């Protein structure tokens, strides 16, 4: 059997034309095929006898259950074909290690799958020392895919990516090699199961949490890791009183949460990059009560935790909360921020200068907009209380509505007239007609520039 495989893999094509793909060494060939969906690898079997069984030797499986759906209606033979294919793959060369196992569970809307087979597959790949395990359940709750206990003690696992699956509580978790976790719409038996998972990963570097479901009585999300470098958190609609993260080596933080009242960062001295869309559960109108001291203290501590970052992305809703807070307390200085991007959802810019003054070493500023067409601007930027003495580059990125051209010019004027060392300002006009663009360009030429070396580019 092995000699037959070698003869097929090593055979050279006839003729003078050199087939570079066929002449690749086995190790390199299988590495290339590992990056393709399994259905595409199987298609190669029709090219020649040499490719007939090559899919069996690829050290990974990337399969969608829906790949076996060939009829408009359910036929049990299709599911049996799926089972047979996966069992044959896992049974062949079973002593070798698997680099990747990716399974996307999607099937006919009115048919429930026998998920017990999935558990057997997960157990089998753990025995084969799988390194990357990706399980995506796209049946929208119709089939409950449960991650078995063996996965929680898989010593070879490097990355774990789970979507809409169920994780039961475990008394013991040991994942000594796991560096990357992505949890999307995952249901936990209880909040302790989440904490146990994180604490059982001593070399975890990246954790991404998107709308996980803990339990009905949980009031907080706890993340404690001595090795974590990157943490991304997107909240669900559930109300958690607080998110607490204790990660002294954390370099990157992404936070998208409209419901949590408090986000507590312990040991935040290593934080370098932050992407923040957080309003401290102040409601859809972000009504800040300056007389409510607990919220003021939470905002103050949160801002202090961000004060050491170098690169920052912040939403206009968060900026609005910061602006309201600044009217009753002084903002901390963000001395290390050299790059700032603000994502605006409206034309309320009065809070921008206040925040810019808290970034004394800011060099690059990008303003993005996602404003519905037809919405009119309502705010005009006030003059700054002091000049922008460090700003060198400004880009007004995403296109704005054409009817907001005057407001856009006021924004450009603000930076040109108040930035002492500005080198370049880039203005995007992709939504404007040629005639409208020409008018704006002419007006740009009349705006005085405090920095004599500043250049304006229109895209």
pTM of the predicted model as reported, rounded to 2 decimal places: 0.85
DSSP label of 231: E
Using DSSP, state whether 284 is helix, strand or coil: coil
Cβ 222 vs Cβ 202: under 8 Å: no
Cα angle at 298 between 296 and 300, to 5 degrees?
70
Sign of CA dihedral 388, 394, 400, 406: positive
pLDDT tens track of the chain, all 459 residues? 444 444 444 444 444 444 666 677 777 878 888 888 888 888 877 776 767 778 888 899 999 988 888 766 666 788 888 899 999 999 888 888 999 999 998 876 666 677 889 999 999 999 999 999 999 988 766 667 889 999 999 999 999 999 999 888 888 999 999 999 999 989 888 767 888 999 999 999 999 999 888 765 567 788 999 999 999 999 876 656 688 999 999 999 999 987 787 888 998 889 999 999 988 877 555 677 888 888 889 899 999 999 999 999 999 889 988 988 998 999 999 999 999 999 988 767 778 888 999 999 999 999 988 765 445 554 555 655 678 999 999 998 865 555 556 667 888 888 999 999 999 999 887 666 666 667 777 888 889 999 999 999 887
Cβ contacts of residue 141 below 8 Å, gap of 6+?
Answer: 164
Q: Half-sphere exposure of residue 131, counting CA atoms within 13 Å on the CB side?
A: 8
């Amino acid at each position: 059997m092995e000699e037959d495989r070698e003869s097929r893999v090593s055979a050279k094509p006839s003729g003078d034309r050199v087939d570079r793909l066929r002449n690749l060494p086995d190790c390199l060939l299988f590495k290339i095929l590992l990056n393709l969906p399994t259905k595409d690898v199987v298609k190669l079997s029709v090219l020649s006898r040499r490719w007939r069984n090559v899919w069996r030797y690829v050290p990974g499986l990337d399969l969608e259950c829906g790949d076996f759906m060939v009829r408009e209606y359910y036929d049990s033979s299709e599911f049996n074909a799926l089972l047979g294919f996966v069992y044959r793959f896992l049974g062949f060369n079973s002593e070798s290690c698997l680099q990747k196992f990716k399974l996307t569970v999607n099937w006919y809307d009115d048919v429930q799958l026998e998920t017990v087979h999935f558990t057997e597959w997960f157990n089998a790949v753990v025995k084969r020392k799988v390194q990357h395990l990706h399980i995506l359940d796209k049946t929208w709750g119709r089939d409950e895919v449960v991650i078995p206990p063996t996965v929680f003690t898989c010593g070879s696992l490097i990355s774990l990516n789970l979507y809409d699956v169920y994780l039961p509580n475990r008394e013991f978790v040991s994942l000594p090699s796991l560096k990357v976790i992505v949890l999307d719409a995952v249901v936990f038996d209880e909040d302790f199961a989440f904490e146990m998972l994180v604490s059982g990963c001593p070399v975890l570097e990246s954790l991404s949490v998107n709308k996980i479901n803990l339990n009905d009585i949980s009031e907080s999300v706890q993340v404690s890791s001595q090795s974590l470098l990157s943490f991304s958190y997107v909240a669900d609609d559930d109300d958690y009183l607080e998110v607490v993260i204790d990660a002294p080596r954390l370099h990157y933080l992404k936070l998208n949460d409209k419901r949590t009242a408090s986000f507590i960062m312990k040991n935040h001295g290593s934080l370098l990059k932050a992407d923040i869309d957080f309003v401290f559960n102040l409601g859809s109108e972000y009504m800040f009560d300056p007389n409510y001291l607990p919220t003021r203290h939470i905002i103050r501590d949160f801002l202090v935790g961000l004060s050491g970052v170098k690169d920052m992305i912040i939403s206009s809703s968060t900026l609005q909360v910061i602006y309201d807070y600044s009217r009753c307390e002084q903002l901390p200085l963000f001395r290390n921020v050299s790059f700032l991007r603000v994502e605006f959802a409206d034309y309320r810019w009065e809070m921008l200068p206040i925040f810019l003054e808290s970034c004394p070493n800011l060099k690059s500023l990008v303003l993005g907009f996602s404003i519905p067409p037809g919405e009119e601007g309502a705010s005009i930027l006030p003059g700054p209380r002091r000049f922008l003495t460090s700003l060198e580059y400004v880009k007004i990125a995403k296109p704005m509505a054409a009817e907001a051209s005057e407001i856009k010019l006021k924004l450009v004027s603000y930076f040109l007239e108040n930035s002492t060392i500005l080198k370049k300002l880039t203005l995007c006009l992709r939504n404007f007609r040629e005639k409208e663009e020409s008018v704006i360009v002419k007006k740009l030429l009349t705006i005085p520039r405090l920095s004599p070396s500043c250049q304006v580019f229109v895209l």
